[in-house]
């Protein structure tokens, strides 16, 4: 079993069983980073706080920081990033930002994570850049540069590069710096799109499945099972046989075959790119789980239905505020019962 995997008791709809398993494992290995993350994903916040309060444990500094950061976000702390970023990284960030502002040169910020993470942090960085009239260089991987370039190139305050820069500031450290020096941070829509062609949506575009290469439990908790998706589509077509349904989830070839036989269009977002996906979204209603599509719709100002699991990622406490584009454009429907999407999908059909 690798760090990215979890044993079967977690992959169920029995919350008590899952919490009991993680609790038993933490009793034997209270300093295990991944077990703590799993506990937080199952709503065991008190268990993690109790571990953090103990002075007899050889808890690694990075492990404690990650757990405290997640808890601070859940509590709505104004600068949760201060729990995550160690003092030496804060000092480095201060030094680089002082240099960039004094010399009137762009600050370089290194971005990590998936496309959704990039869209989110660009939303925040661009809002700060416009207020402060200070340009930024975003250091990304060549793959991310290729995907984001068509969206970022028209924005004069931002530029992309894939080469390593010695003065690059970590993305999370930049968030901490903005919170510390400017109070609250802002997340604003930044992808410019034209008006929708028609007031009435042409159909519905859906994403039901998270990949979760590095966190299979998170992907499982966020994703809707294929059988429920098929039932949803059948009921939608029964209500309106002519409705256009597009699915961009990463289903298996066999699952895609079943969807196509039903009349659902399956599209690969990697093949059409972000600009192509934006054009698909514009004239349609959007239903998505917590994945990159939710971030894309928020930062392009597209009203969207966002399905969140019973214990959603703590980022939504911060993002889904009325003054952010996420709060303004994402309508959240939260799972009623742990690992059970039945009622949520029934409400969508209704």
Query: CA 180, CA 322: separation in Å to the nearest integer?
Result: 21
| Nearest CA among 177, 164, 180, 154 for reference residue 108 | 164
pLDDT of residue 9: 84
Query: CA 94, CA 100: separation in Å to the nearest integer?
Result: 10
Do the Cβ atoms of 120 and 290 come closer than 8 Å? Answer: no
Q: List per-residue pLDDT tens for the chain, 350 residues long.
A: 344 445 678 888 999 999 999 999 999 999 999 999 999 999 999 999 999 999 999 999 999 999 999 999 999 999 999 999 999 999 999 999 999 999 999 999 999 999 999 999 999 999 999 999 999 999 999 999 999 999 999 999 999 999 999 999 999 999 999 999 988 789 999 998 865 544 677 899 999 999 876 788 999 999 999 999 999 999 999 999 999 999 999 999 999 999 999 999 999 999 999 999 999 999 999 999 999 999 999 999 999 999 999 999 999 999 999 999 999 999 999 999 999 999 999 999 88
Do the Cβ atoms of 147 and 274 come closer than 8 Å? Answer: yes
Go through the chain and tell me how many residues it has. Answer: 350
Using alpha carbons, list the distances in angstroms from residue 17 to 22, 34, 42, 93: 9, 18, 11, 43
pLDDT of residue 215: 86
| Nearest CA among 235, 222, 349 for reference residue 288 | 222
Q: Compute the C-alpha angle 149/172/287, nearest 5°.
A: 60
pLDDT of residue 197: 43
Q: What end-to-end distance do the CA atoms of the chain give, in Å?
A: 42
pLDDT of residue 193: 84
pLDDT of residue 4: 44
pLDDT of residue 7: 65
Query: CA 50, CA 45: separation in Å to the nearest integer?
Result: 9
What string of H, E and C letters represents the secondary structure of the chain?
CCCCCCCHHHCCCCHHHHHHHHHHHHHHCCCCHHHHHHHHHCCCHHHHHHHHHCCCCCCCHHHHHHHHHHHHHHCCCCCCHHHHCCHHHHHHHHHHHHHHHHHCCCEEEECCCCHHHHHHHHHHHHHHHHHHCCCEEEECCHHHHHHHHHHHCCCCCEEEECCCCCCCEEHHHHHHHHHHHHCCCCCCCCCCCCCCCCCCCCEEEEECCCCCCCCHHHHHHHCCCHHHHHHHHHHHHHHCCCCEEEECCCCCHHHHHHHHHHCCEECCHHHHHHHHHHHHHCCCEEEEECCHHHHHHHHCCCCEEEEECCCCCCHHHHHCCCCCHHHHHEEEEECCECCECHHHHHHHHC
């Amino acid at each position: 079993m690798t760090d990215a995997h979890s044993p079967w008791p977690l992959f169920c709809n029995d919350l008590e069983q899952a919490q009991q398993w993680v609790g038993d494992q933490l009793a034997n290995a209270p300093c295990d980073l991944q077990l703590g993350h799993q506990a937080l994903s199952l709503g065991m916040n008190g268990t993690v706080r109790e571990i953090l309060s103990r002075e007899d444990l050889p808890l690694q500094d990075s492990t404690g920081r990650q757990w405290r950061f997640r808890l601070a976000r859940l509590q709505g702390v104004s600068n949760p990033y201060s729990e995550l970023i160690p003092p030496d990284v804060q000092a480095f960030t201060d030094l680089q930002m002082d240099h960039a502002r004094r010399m009137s040169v762009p600050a370089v910020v290194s971005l990590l994570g998936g496309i959704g993470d990039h869209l989110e942090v660009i939303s925040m960085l661009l809002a700060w850049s416009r207020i402060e009239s200070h340009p930024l260089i975003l250091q990304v991987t060549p793959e991310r540069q290729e995907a984001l370039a068509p969206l970022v190139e028209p924005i004069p305050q931002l530029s992309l590069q894939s080469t390593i820069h010695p003065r690059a500031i970590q993305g999370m450290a930049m968030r901490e710096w903005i919170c510390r020096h400017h109070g609250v941070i802002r997340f604003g829509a930044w992808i410019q799109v034209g008006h929708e062609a028609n007031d009435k949506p042409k159909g519905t575009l859906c994403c039901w499945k998270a990949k979760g290469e590095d966190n299979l439990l998170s992907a499982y908790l966020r994703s809707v099972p294929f059988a429920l998706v098929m039932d949803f589509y059948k009921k939608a077509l029964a209500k309106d046989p002519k409705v256009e349904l597009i699915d961009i989830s990463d289903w298996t070839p066999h699952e895609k075959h079943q969807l196509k036989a039903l009349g659902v269009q399956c599209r690969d977002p990697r093949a059409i790119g972000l600009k192509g996906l934006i054009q698909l979204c514009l004239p349609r209603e959007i239903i998505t789980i917590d994945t990159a599509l939710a971030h894309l719709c928020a930062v392009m100002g597209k009203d969207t239905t966002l399905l969140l699991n019973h214990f959603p990622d703590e980022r939504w406490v911060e993002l889904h505020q009325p003054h952010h584009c996420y709060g303004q454009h994402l309508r959240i429907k939260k799972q009623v019962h742990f690992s059970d999407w039945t009622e949520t999908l029934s409400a969508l059909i209704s």
